[in-house]
Amino acid sequence: MSDNCSDRPVRGFVGLASPSREFAQCLSSTPTSTIRGPLSSSTPSTPQYNLQAQLAHSEQPIDGHQGLALTSHPRLQDSNLTLIHWFIFLVVLLCSSPSCRDSKSYWDLFLALYVDRPHSHKSVNSPHSHKSLHAHTLRMVPKRIWLSYNNQLSCVLTQELEFVIDLAKAARNEFLPYLRDFATSDITLHVDEDAEALATDSALAEIAAQLSPCGVSKTPLIVKVPEFKAGSKVEEGLLRFWKALPEASLVVDGEVEYLELKESYILGIKKLGDRLLVRPIYKELCELFEVEGYDQWVVTGTPGIGKTFFSVYYMWIAARKKKAVLWQNPFFPDDVCYLMTSSGIAPVRTWGSEIDGVLAKFDPVHIVDGRAPNLRNVWTLLVTSPQHNHYHQFLKDDDSNLLYMPPWSYEELQTCKAILYPDERILPTTLMDRVFKWYGGVPRYVLARASTEFKRKGGNEDAAFQAVNRSLTEAINRGGIMDAIKAYQSKTTDGQYSHRVIHIFSHPSGELTQFHLSWASDQVATEMSKIYEQELRFNILNLLRNFPDGSNFRRMLFEIHAQNVLQEGGTFQVRPLGEGDPRSGQDIKITFPAAERRTFITYEEVNLRTDVFWKPCSPTLASIDLLRGPANCFQITVSNTHPIKHQGLSKALELVDKSESSRRLYFVVPSNIYSTYKHQPYHTKDGKIYKRNLGDVGKVEQWALMIPIGAENLSRGDEEPPKKKQTV
């Protein structure tokens, strides 16, 4: 028998019977039955035992029992061995030849099998596909994986499956009546509705942690296929949509406009409906397309706000102008798009002479949804979530520009519900309001997902709300504040979670080339505040003093901190702000008792006779961050310059009892700018100086209120964001 029998990399066995048989076979007298490994010399190869399958499919814990320690060998110290390990070892030892029992390699094999276990934090570095077996054993692939396609559930055993492509094939077989027209390569698998597709060449063991939740039916793996496939019924629906699009009616109902299709659905997909609300931002974006001279446009924003519907709106504009459209969505193969002309629709390749001929003949507009464009010499509109890999190469062209679409206002959601979900039996307003208070202005959740879950839960509003809110709760609990910020900054698929927590709003300047970040809602801010209290209580002051990302994230952190401090109550240092801003009266103290915090959607819900901090649900509500009776308004800021919208403050003052002689607007600022903070001007709705009679607003006293951050002697204020495509 060869002395190299110990050299095969077989660490981390979970099952004992099969590995033990393999062990015994290795020790048989057959000269060619050798084991290869990182320490072996050149020896004949033998069939490899499928360790990955054993490791990936075991349902038993790896380090299940406390065992014995063999202290005579240094590698056995602190190792956990079970009695059965010793029994197997001794049986094989007695059955083997004396020369093998005496060999160092024999002991090394035992150590590799039972001592170098995963808790030792060692891994096998093998050149073939079974790399880092230790990493695979940390989280086992479920014995069975649940699958969901079009709300149909099924499960498959993973015993014989090794790669994602194998799982996709199994999914096709499970849903064969629905997926008969699709090849395995058409199928994508997603850990949730909003997640990116799993890479087809990934080993299941490598992504075991991602697949772990799919071992139960409540969190199945989502199966998706292309919405459009040549010759399919779906393509027929797309053709009907394109034919009907030029004749779609633009219905005007007061200030509301929506497109209404006849005898077709948006993009030929029934669940998208036959009506499309035309948001005012759609027209603003299209006006920029006409005025600016760029040929490459990117429109991005918070996922779920309807960027695809905006692309349909622009498709309608092109169709009305009898322009041909090259349309590409995330489910198409990389080199395929649909050409839409007055003659119909047809799939075309995006490379070679075919596309060159299309561009020369039709001069189309290229509309791309959720992927990196691969055509350059054509006018292009890309709509996408904020994933850097979708547009960073595209934006290197000097002829390109990036624009930001904000989330929906509550009023827009109300309007959309009245048009698309008017029946309270389909979507109760109370359910919409509950979801809005968490998700903010994202219609994917507030309208579509809420309606779907309400139906799925048999009209049980509480159950529907819990189902919709589950993915947001998951995103909140995924990590701390800094984790959410870093995930957002990475602009990768990891950001799909942080974008449920952090939303991209329009910049206060109104420039669509810039953006403003805010928490998705006050409820999210409250939950992040709890996390902050747990994780960052002792670090937050340093972050506020030295935050490297500038005023935007610093403002978000300070907003949480200041709201908590105010809500806890106490004595605060304040000073009046007057014309000329004399530095006097800086030792004035004011006391606010502790108070609860409530949110409101409209001012009619606010009762200033209660000892409550009232906070608007929407970050877009002008002029105030908090209200507290009898006549106190609060604006939280980290900037030396923070003009007040006259209209918003005037609206808030309507709640104040006219008998209150002292109406105050407190600018809640960090200590580093408190001593130099100045009286702030009043602006119109469009950001210009308010020159008319101020009315009741002119009677408001402006005060600065200091929140100490350990920088009382500093005088630095945050600079205004530079005029770039992004804010800092």
Residues 384-439 have pLDDT tens digits of 988 888 888 888 888 899 999 999 999 999 999 999 999 999 999 999 999 999 99
User: Per-residue confidence at 661, pLDDT binned at 50, 70, 90?
Assistant: low
User: Per-residue confidence at 117, pLDDT binned at 50, 70, 90?
Assistant: very low
Q: Is the pLDDT of residue 151 over 90?
A: no
Instruction: Give the per-residue pLDDT at 8.
Output: 36
Q: What average pLDDT does range 78-85 have in this prediction?
A: 46
| Rg of the chain, C-alpha, whole Å | 32
Instruction: Give the per-residue pLDDT at 23.
Output: 32
Query: Could you tell me where the DSSP H helices lie in 96-156?
Result: 98-102, 104-110, 133-137
Instruction: Give the per-residue pLDDT at 650.
Output: 79
Instruction: Give the per-residue pLDDT at 56.
Output: 37
CA–CA dist 333, 316 (Å, integer): 24
**In whole angstroms, how far apart are CA 57 and each of 61, 334, 460?**
11, 34, 38
Q: Residue 391: which residues within 8 A CB-CB, separation 6 or more?
A: 298, 300, 372, 382, 384, 402
**In whole angstroms, how far apart are CA 580 and each of 334, 584, 663, 678, 688?**
62, 11, 20, 8, 21
Instruction: Give the per-residue pLDDT at 12.
Output: 34
User: Per-residue confidence at 50, pLDDT binned at 50, 70, 90?
Assistant: very low
User: Per-residue confidence at 13, pLDDT binned at 50, 70, 90?
Assistant: very low
DSSP SS3 for 101? helix
Q: Is the pLDDT of residue 53 over 90?
A: no
Instruction: Give the per-residue pLDDT at 102.
Output: 46
Residue tagged 């490899």 (tokens) = 48
Q: Is the pLDDT of residue 727 over 50?
A: no
User: Per-residue confidence at 697, pLDDT binned at 50, 70, 90?
Assistant: confident
CA–CA dist 704, 668 (Å, integer): 6
- Contact present, 140 and 208 (Cβ < 8 Å): yes
Report the range of poorest mean pLDDT among 100-104, 268-272, 327-331, 633-637. 100-104
Q: Is the peptide bond before 630 cis (omega within 30 degrees of 0)?
A: yes
Q: Is the pLDDT of residue 132 over 50?
A: no
Q: What average pLDDT does range 139-156 have in this prediction?
A: 87
The model's pTM is: 0.54
Instruction: Give the per-residue pLDDT at 580.
Output: 59
Residue tagged 């839409």 (tokens) = 340
- Contact present, 623 and 616 (Cβ < 8 Å): no
Q: What average pLDDT does range 544-564 have in this prediction?
A: 75
Backbone angles phi, psi at 504, to 5 degrees: -100, 110
Q: What average pLDDT does range 550-573 have in this prediction?
A: 84
Q: Which of 93-97, 105-109, 447-451, 500-504 has the highest mean pLDDT?
A: 447-451
Q: Is the pLDDT of residue 351 over 90?
A: no
Instruction: Give the per-residue pLDDT at 495.
Output: 55
Instruction: Give the per-residue pLDDT at 721.
Output: 34
More confident residue, 191 or 123: 191
More confident residue, 639 or 720: 639
User: Per-residue confidence at 24, pLDDT binned at 50, 70, 90?
Assistant: very low
Angle made by CA atoms 381, 222, 366, in degrees to the nearest 5: 10
More confident residue, 715 or 639: 639
Q: Is the pLDDT of residue 148 over 90?
A: yes
Instruction: Give the per-residue pLDDT at 643.
Output: 85
DSSP SS3 for 305? coil
Q: Is the pLDDT of residue 515 over 80?
A: yes
Instruction: Give the per-residue pLDDT at 241.
Output: 94
CA–CA dist 106, 327 (Å, integer): 64
Residue tagged 């004595």 (tokens) = 571
Chain centre distance of CA 256: 30
Q: Is 601 exposed, middle or buried (0-12, 13-18, 19+ CB in 10 A)?
A: middle
More confident residue, 326 or 347: 326
- Contact present, 97 and 29 (Cβ < 8 Å): yes
Give the chain's mean pLDDT. 76
Instruction: Give the per-residue pLDDT at 282.
Output: 96
Q: Is the pLDDT of residue 369 over 70?
A: yes
CA–CA dist 214, 616 (Å, integer): 38
Instruction: Give the per-residue pLDDT at 179.
Output: 82
User: Per-residue confidence at 71, pLDDT binned at 50, 70, 90?
Assistant: very low
CA–CA dist 375, 313 (Å, integer): 22
- Contact present, 143 and 87 (Cβ < 8 Å): no
Instruction: Give the per-residue pLDDT at 88.
Output: 54
Q: What is the dihedral of CA 86, 90, 93, 94, to 10 degrees?
A: 180
Report the range of poorest mean pLDDT among 94-98, 296-300, 578-582, 721-725. 721-725
CA–CA dist 277, 310 (Å, integer): 9
Q: Is the pLDDT of residue 141 over 70?
A: yes
Backbone angles phi, psi at 249, to 5 degrees: -85, 135
User: Per-residue confidence at 551, pLDDT binned at 50, 70, 90?
Assistant: low
- Contact present, 446 and 439 (Cβ < 8 Å): yes
Instruction: Give the per-residue pLDDT at 649.
Output: 81
User: Per-residue confidence at 492, pLDDT binned at 50, 70, 90?
Assistant: low
**In whole angstroms, how far apart are CA 637 and each of 172, 619, 717?**
54, 13, 11
Which residue, 516, 526, 477, is CA-closest to 497? 477
Q: Is the pLDDT of residue 289 over 60?
A: yes
User: Per-residue confidence at 620, pLDDT binned at 50, 70, 90?
Assistant: low
Which residue, 221, 11, 44, is CA-closest to 124? 11
